[in-house]
Amino acid sequence: MNAWELMRARHAVRSYVNHPIEAEKVAALQQAIEDVNREAGLHIQLFTEEPEAFNANAAHYGQFSGCRNYLAMVGPKDADEAIGYYGEKLVLLAQELGLNTCWVALTFRKNAVTVDIAPEEKLHVVIALGYGETQGVQHKSKAASAVSNLSDSSPQWFRDGVEAALLAPTAINQQKFSFTQNGRRVKARTKLTFYGRMDLGIAKYHFELGAGKENFDWA
Ligand SMILES: Cc1cc2nc3c(=O)[nH]c(=O)nc-3n(C[C@H](O)[C@H](O)[C@H](O)COP(=O)(O)O)c2cc1C
């Protein structure tokens, strides 16, 4: 699958079947996590076959059921945007491996898991992953014109970047990001909301995939 297919196929999935992630897929995820942690100074950790965080042995926990695998998104306290950007990179890798995912800020039992957190770090969010009961559904989206200065004269790469950003997951589907293009320069902004900066990091990762990094510079 190419990047567009992966972005279009990814949806939040909250119900998982009891099928362990195969060792070679775990190894691929571990390798990618190691690379991301080194590149971005993050401390992301993968937990597999760990039923406590989502109370996987109960019928339901909040909106979740059967989730036994997740990424603990640990990093410096102010790293929200990087957590979003690099977390979405791992989400799309999971999608490529045939797994489903859901970003989770609230619905997990923080105290039930033993995550390694250094004094200057925090556990920002987790990303549930595994084999979904379904593939999820496409979220409702704002219009491109509502989140950008797109016009008839905008270059195609900008149009594509905004379209890709609108496929990105955001907390409660708020899509409070915006992109402003001026020549090669693109300014990305977010409203000051809960998880706004993390959502912005996620959306910027999608924007780059859609627009092509070679076509523009972040302002
Ligand atoms: C930073 C962040 C936090 C989220 N927190 C939760 C959560 O606590 N519980 C939940 O059920 N979904 C959570 N979600 C999933 C969003 O509701 C979902 O991504 C959004 O509705 C868009 O749907 P989609 O992922 O299918 O495109 C979160 C998503 C993001 C990006």
Domain boundary assignment for the chain: 3-130, 144-213
Find the helix packing angle between 156-166 and 196-211, rounded to 10°. Answer: 140
- Are 160 and 215 in contact, with CB atoms under 8 Å apart? no
pLDDT by 10s per residue, the chain, length 219? 899 999 999 999 999 999 999 999 999 999 999 999 999 999 999 999 999 999 988 888 889 999 999 999 999 999 999 999 999 999 999 999 999 999 999 888 888 888 999 999 999 999 999 999 999 999 999 999 999 999 999 999 999 999 999 999 999 999 999 999 999 999 999 988 889 999 999 999 999 999 999 999 999
Q: Residues with beta carbon inside 6 Å of ligand 1?
A: 11-12, 14, 63, 102-107, 125, 136, 139, 169-173, 195, 198-199, 202
Angstrom distance (rounded) from CA 79 to CA 121:
9
- Enumerate long-range contacts of 109-113, CB under 8 Å, 24 or more apart: 109/52, 109/53, 109/54, 109/55, 109/61, 112/52, 112/53, 112/55, 113/47, 113/50, 113/52, 113/53, 113/72
Hey, which residues does 75 pair with through a beta bridge? Answer: 122
Do domains 3-130 and 144-213 share one topology? The answer is: yes
* Ligand 1 atom closest to 11 (CA): 26
Q: How far is the CA of 174 from the centre of ligand 1 (A)?
A: 9
CATH architecture assignment, domain 3-130: 3-Layer(aba) Sandwich (3.40)
Assign a CATH topology to domain 144-213.
NADH Oxidase (3.40.109)
Pocket test for ligand 1, best of 13, 101, 172 (most atoms within 8 A of CB): 172
